[in-house]
Structure 1
Amino acid sequence: MIEYVSLYILFFTAFTAVNKDNGKLKRVLRLVNSTTSHDDVAKGAYKQSLKALLPYGMLATKKWLAEQGLSAHAIDNAVKTETLLLLATGVYSQYSRSLSWEGVVASMQRMGVNSLDDLPSVIVGGLSALSLSGLSQYLSLGSTPHIHLYAQGKLPSWLGRLSLPVECEGHSTNTLWPEWLLQDKTFIRQHEWEAALPPVYFSCPEKALLELLVDLPDAVSFEHADELMQGLVNLSPRKLDALLKACKSVKVKRLFFWLAKRQAYPWFNKLNVDDYDLGSGKRVVAKGGKLDTDYLITVPSHMAKESES
């Protein structure tokens, strides 16, 4: 009995400090994993540690749980007792198999960082980020909403094995942003979707706008981008200046200036086009369109006439 109480006090002391020091949780988990399956204290301890690692609304992969210190034996036991629920091969949650897109993305972002100071490698961006900022009037076409995720590499393979109410669409940032910018918190916001749970990280409006222009005109129409620009009255010229100087895509920069000039907001007048590398030569963006002589891109003929009038 005394041994039971001692183990319980040891676990409780470390567990209450888990949010301040993740190392303490790992030490508790090592204690749990080294205890025999016949020890009731160990069973209670790993259940408590799972609650800390996997709160309601979050998921985790088997690989990540192992990295936090849970042994394969402890994970298997948790599945057998339905303490862990299997969402797909190697992916688990607690309490419910039905998760929101915010829970899935927040979980993916949490598992993708090595320290609390790092930004996740996958960020909600483009049209989805504008929507989170309350600046997008548009819903995704079709019956399944799309969440646009931006990353240097591919999205994790386990994401495709989940049954979700949304479709997570991956976009590469390799032709758009240098690597250093992806770790600059100046251009990132946090969506607090559930109290006491990790936030969803997403691009600020200035960054999100440039991200969605990559997909113009194949996935985003000129008309759609133009109407979105009409609502972007209060963009930060300081952030736009830094992003445009860092942006690697000549097409995106030319499209931005052409769309921004049509609205002529005060922030546009604070940007000097000569400060940015817009490349050289003509670029065909709208097939069969009319050449804009200011930015040397082809745009839809009817929109070119609107700009002239």
Structure 2
Amino acid sequence: MTTNNLTKINQLLQSIPSGIVLQSSWLIRQGYSLNLQKYYRSSGWLQSLGHGAMVRSNENPGYDGAVYALQNQSNLSIHPGARTALSLLGRAHYLELSASQTWLFGGVEEKLPTWFRQHTWDTEILYKSTAFLPVSVGLVEFRFPSFTLQVSSPARAIMECLYVAPGEMDLMECYEIMENLNDLRPSLVQKLLEKCTSIKVKRLFLYMADKLNHPWLKFLDLSKVDLGKGKRCLVKGGVYISQYQITVPIALATRE
């Protein structure tokens, strides 16, 4: 290895956080050619994670280190959302949120790269590519030990939960999460509701907040929120809530 190549790899390893994935395409843009990357792998500085991705030798990044690469090297909006974000932010409380599953959300045209999909992580990755909320609204920074990620704020996260319910998440679990969200910022909730394109999500969100009598609800201007027209039957054999024109599970409707 030449002195120049040794200097370059040292500069790289000193400049990046520990526990992250290094994408080959990003390394090329930083001046590390494919041949140089191959040289670093054969010399034991880097090791392959999959086609187009590497890690420091002797490191085994988690999903968060992979998402760091997507956010900071590919400029994607893919982020931890739904109950994963709520758990990270300490808003899960007593709920038993399974650590064996991780919810990620991204823009409608954003896909997880092959190396991400084919790698075996220590958690099951559940990915949703959707445009029901703008990618720029309702995200917050969360600090992991050596880097920060953009993750969903509590208000956005509960809407993401409702987006995948009732098919992939139980509505009663969503309600139990909403019980703990009595301190949401009305201005952010207002913006999310105005930008949200899912009628189901907006109706469920407002129904649950109303049922729980959350104090921030009275500060919203619902005249600016499009709640659509017509009935929405979310479950069979449920209870029809005329105010919000939705049919919800009996257990939810009768919950005190």
TM-score (norm: length of structure 1)? 0.76
CA distance in 1, matches of 2:24, 2:191: 40
Note closer, same or farther for the CA distance 1:65–1:281 as it changes in structure 2 (3 Å cut): same
CA distance in 1, matches of 2:123, 2:166: 23
Q: Corresponding residue for 2:45?
A: 83
> What is the Cα deviation at residue 226 of structure 1?
1.0
CA distance in 2, matches of 1:278, 1:304: 20
User: Structure 2 residue aligned with 1:252, among 190, 194, 201?
Assistant: 201
C-alpha offsets along residues 80-115 of structure 1, whole Å, 9 cap, x if unaligned? Answer: 1111111222221113242133222212211122xx
C-alpha offsets along residues 95-145 of structure 1, whole Å, 9 cap, x if unaligned? Answer: 3242133222212211122xxxxxx4212211111112111143444xx62
Q: Corresponding residue for 2:102?
A: 147
Q: Corresponding residue for 1:290?
A: 239
Alignment check: 8 A CA contact 2:19 2:62 kept:
yes
Counterparts of 1:167-206 in structure 2, within 5 Å, are: 167-174=124-131, 176-177=132-133, 181-184=134-137, 187-195=138-146, 197=147, 199-206=148-155
User: Structure 2 residue aligned with 1:163, among 74, 99, 120?
Assistant: 120
Query: Percent same amino acid among aligned pairs?
Result: 27
Q: Which has the higher strand share?
A: 2
CA distance in 2, matches of 1:271, 1:183: 21
AA of the residue aligned to 1:100: G
Q: Which runs of 5+ in 2 are unaligned?
A: none
Counterparts of 1:1-309 in structure 2, within 5 Å, are: 40-52=2-14, 54-113=16-75, 120-137=76-93, 138-141=95-98, 145-152=100-107, 153-174=110-131, 176-177=132-133, 181-184=134-137, 187-195=138-146, 197=147, 199-306=148-255
Count of aligned positions: 253
Q: Kindly indicate whether structure 1 or structure 2 has the higher relative contact order, using CA contacts under 8 Å at least 6 residues apart.
A: 2
> What is the Cα deviation at residue 245 of structure 1?
0.7
> What is the Cα deviation at residue 50 of structure 1?
3.0
CA distance in 1, matches of 2:215, 2:136: 29
Alignment check: 8 A CA contact 1:54 1:94 kept:
no
Q: Which runs of 5+ in 1 are unaligned?
A: 1-36, 114-119
CA distance in 2, matches of 1:267, 1:246: 18
> What is the Cα deviation at residue 248 of structure 1?
0.5
CA distance in 2, matches of 1:128, 1:204: 11
* Aligned alpha-carbon RMSD (Å): 1.9
CA distance in 1, matches of 2:254, 2:144: 43
> What is the Cα deviation at residue 272 of structure 1?
4.0
Alignment check: 8 A CA contact 2:83 2:97 kept:
no
My pick for the range that moved more, 203-212 or 93-102, is: 93-102
Alignment check: 8 A CA contact 1:213 1:255 kept:
yes
AA of the residue aligned to 1:251: K
CA distance in 1, matches of 2:173, 2:62: 27
CA distance in 2, matches of 1:162, 1:192: 24
Q: Which has the higher helix share?
A: 1
